[in-house]
A = this chain, B = another copy of it.
Amino acid sequence: MCNACVIESVKQSMISRRSLFAGVAATGAAAIAASTLAARPALAQASGKVVDLTYVFDETFPTFDGVPGIAYEEAVNFDASGYQLWKITFFEHSGTHIDAPLHFSKDGLSVAELAPESLICPLCVIDITAKARDDANAALEAEDVEAFISAHGEIPKGACVAMNSGWGAKVATPEFRNTPDGKFAFPGFGKSATDLLAQMGVAAIASDTLSLDPGSSADFAVHNSWLPSGHYGIENLANVDQLPATGATIFVGAPKHARGTGGPARVMAVV
């Protein structure tokens, strides 16, 4: 590493700790870095821009079951007290939020128990907008993961893999949750993809829709396999169309309420 690049050690050592790529023999940080650069050309365009991947969460934000996800009660009034604050009630799985393993396993990790290192990680974005235009319940399958790897290189161990289905453009419309003729529908991950991602050592998946599974799922196959195996997920991820396929770092700011099965989070990326 050149002397002029000391600051990069923050980033570089995060990468080396995770032995970044499956199949790369970790013979030292320099070797890993060289392999990384060869495999991930998008890193060369990194600009340091912060992209906020979080929707503003209010009573009107769409939810899976159609019930408002948050409610406000005034706890302290500004005119009366010179300051103000709310008492807030929310259902854990609403807004831009995470699913901890405990959501779909009786004794899985809670949101407070997830390793902090797993919440700051490389981000890969797989685009399925073309098939989602034809099918509101399109699934990101293993073949999409394989096509991504062919185009962009291996997916880092410990990464978060986000789906871009184009659904973000619908968030302020009824079509975020239902087809124009009123059928519950949105894209999600298929189990063939998440099984493959689990084999690769991926830490998290993120959906730009209301759920990890497509709206048409009858068995919640992804929820029922990905989460109990110790992974976490993110739902309602915003602005995925502003992200590069590779090269961004995601920060998953999931508050640590004890015994939490997930919950609203602040998710951002540095691109």
Asked if A10 is an interface residue, CB under 8 A from chain B, the answer is yes
Assembly CA distance A12 to B262 (angstroms) = 33
Asked if A55 is at the interface of the complex by the 8 Å CB criterion, the answer is: yes
Copies of this chain, tallied across the complex? 2
A13 lies within 8 A of B88 (CB): no
A91 and B87 contacting across the interface, CB-CB below 8 Å: yes
A115-143 to B contact mask, C-beta < 8 Å, 1/0: 01101100000000000000000000000
Judge whether A89 is part of the interface by a CB distance below 8 angstroms. yes
In angstroms, how far is the closest chain B Cβ from the Cβ of A24? 15
Across-interface contacts of A7 in B (CB, < 8 A): 8, 11-12, 15, 33, 36-37, 43, 46
A47-66, CB under 8 A of B: which get 1 and which 0?
11111101111100000000
Report the Cα distance A4→B9, complex, angstroms: 12
Q: Is A48 in contact with B251, judged by CB distance below 8 angstroms?
A: no
Interface centre among A43, A46, A47 (most CB of B within 10 A): A46
> What B residues does A264 contact at CB under 8 A?
255, 257
Q: Which residues on A are within 8 Å of B, measured CB to CB? A: 1-2, 4-17, 33-34, 36-37, 43-44, 46-52, 54-58, 70, 72, 75, 78-79, 82-93, 95-96, 102-104, 106, 112, 116-117, 119-120, 220, 223-224, 249, 251-268, 270-271
